[in-house]
Amino acid sequence: MYRFIVVTLISALTACGSSMDYSHSPNFNSNLNRFQHPDGDPSNKKPSELFAMIREFSKRKYDQSEQIGFPVKLSERHELSTFSESVMWIGQSTILLNHKGLTVLTDPQFSNRASPLFFGGPKRVTPIPFNIKDLPNIDVVLISHNHYDHLDRSSIRDLIKHQPSIKFLVPLGLGQTLYKWGVVDVTELDWWQAINLQDVEIQPTPVKHWSSRSLLDRNKSLWAGWMMKWDDFSFYFAGDSGYSSDFKETAKRLGSPTLAAIPIGAYEPRDFMKAAHMNPEEAVKTFEDLKAKYGVAIHWGTFKLTTERMDEPPERLLQSLKDQEIPFDKFRALSHGEKWDAPFSEKM
């Protein structure tokens, strides 16, 4: 996120804000003319704090993982075409999941950079495990919010070039952006607003984060986690979030998920990042708050965004699981491109 801020400051690129009227949403503050979490917007930093963060990032210690990346499990097209009853972490917050014939992709990010610029901004450190054209047929794409490591124009354009009729579900305010990019089937939803797709109930849920792609569009679109409920299985995608009471509330209202995708990376310097990104210990608290049966780690090891070592999040995840006496095989940090079938053999 930090480098987005730098890129945004220097480029002040075109806004993708929506001109729709969202005053009907309880999550839209009409006075401020933007969406708002009940906890306010603690991620909105003063320029002096931003520059202090930039200084700290530029002085960061040498990070070997930033240079060499992480091991990748490569997949061939024919293997992916039979992808079934499984989850795969592709990288960052991109998850491929299939259950009962419905194939889901979250926050597709297959690009070389998480940035509006092809020559600057966070560069991918771990290669993609396969190309977009090799993906199996996707039924639905879930988008958490519009930050560049989650909503990537060229990935989406490439995806719809190969699979033009995919359904995209997005939080309020993102529809226009996707239509502009050529997506034909987009449904915007507010937090807790459910829709039914092939007998699966899908709805966005509140998380503590923010949105922006330029200097001019802060919180003009909503951000969200997502819950998907089959009759015998459920999947929760936390998207991008600081730790908050939202997860307990989500489990209370919608039940505990069989599998939860929870972010574990991009959390230092802590004071700066805390409101927007949880650390691994908070990710384990989130797992416990949700009372999820299984957890899969996301949002680490793909783009260098913040000052912690890139290999620190999975180490701290393991330590925190140990401290909380949670078996390691319940909440896993998969390798990029690694498949995991276990959550699908034990149903709700």
Binding site for Zn ion (CB under 5 A): 147, 240
Q: Smallest gap, in angstroms, from Cβ of residue 268 to Zn ion? A: 15
Strand partners, 196: 201
Q: Smallest gap, in angstroms, from Cβ of residue 206 to Zn ion? A: 15
Q: Which is nearer to Zn ion, 90 or 238 (CB)?
A: 238
CA angle 184, 189, 191 (to 5 degrees): 155
User: Minimal CB distance to Zn ion: which residue?
Assistant: 147
* Edge-to-edge strand list for the sheet holding 234-237: 195-197, 200-205, 225-229, 234-237, 259-263, 294-298, 331-332
Q: Which is nearer to Zn ion, 147 or 274 (CB)?
A: 147
Q: How far is CA 336 from the centre of its chain?
A: 15
Q: Smallest gap, in angstroms, from Cβ of residue 171 to Zn ion? A: 12
Q: Smallest gap, in angstroms, from Cβ of residue 1 to Zn ion? A: 6
Q: Smallest gap, in angstroms, from Cβ of residue 229 to Zn ion? A: 25
Q: Which is nearer to Zn ion, 89 or 344 (CB)?
A: 89
Instruction: Examine residue 269 and say whether the peptide bond preceding it is cis (omega within 30 degrees of 0).
Output: yes
Q: Which is nearer to Zn ion, 98 or 109 (CB)?
A: 109
Residues found in the chain: 348
Q: Smallest gap, in angstroms, from Cβ of residue 61 to Zn ion? A: 24
Find all residues with CB under 8 Å of 284, minimum gap 6, and list them. 317, 320, 321, 324, 326, 331
Q: Which is nearer to Zn ion, 236 or 344 (CB)?
A: 236
Q: Smallest gap, in angstroms, from Cβ of residue 146 to Zn ion? A: 8
Q: Which is nearer to Zn ion, 141 or 321 (CB)?
A: 141
Q: Which is nearer to Zn ion, 293 or 304 (CB)?
A: 304
Q: 277: exposed, middle or buried (C-beta count within 10 Å: 0-12, 13-18, 19+)?
A: buried
Of 214, 220, 218, 203, the C-alpha closest to 257 is 203
Long-range contacts of 340-347 (CB under 8 A, 24+ apart): 340/86, 340/87, 340/88, 340/89, 340/296, 341/85, 341/86, 342/294, 343/87, 343/258, 343/259, 343/293, 343/294, 343/296, 344/85, 344/86, 344/87, 344/99, 344/233, 346/258, 346/293, 347/232, 347/233, 347/258
Q: Which is nearer to Zn ion, 240 or 312 (CB)?
A: 240
Q: Smallest gap, in angstroms, from Cβ of residue 285 to Zn ion? A: 19
Q: Which is nearer to Zn ion, 106 or 258 (CB)?
A: 106
Q: How far apart are CA 49 and CA 147, in angstroms?
A: 20
Q: Smallest gap, in angstroms, from Cβ of residue 147 to Zn ion? A: 3
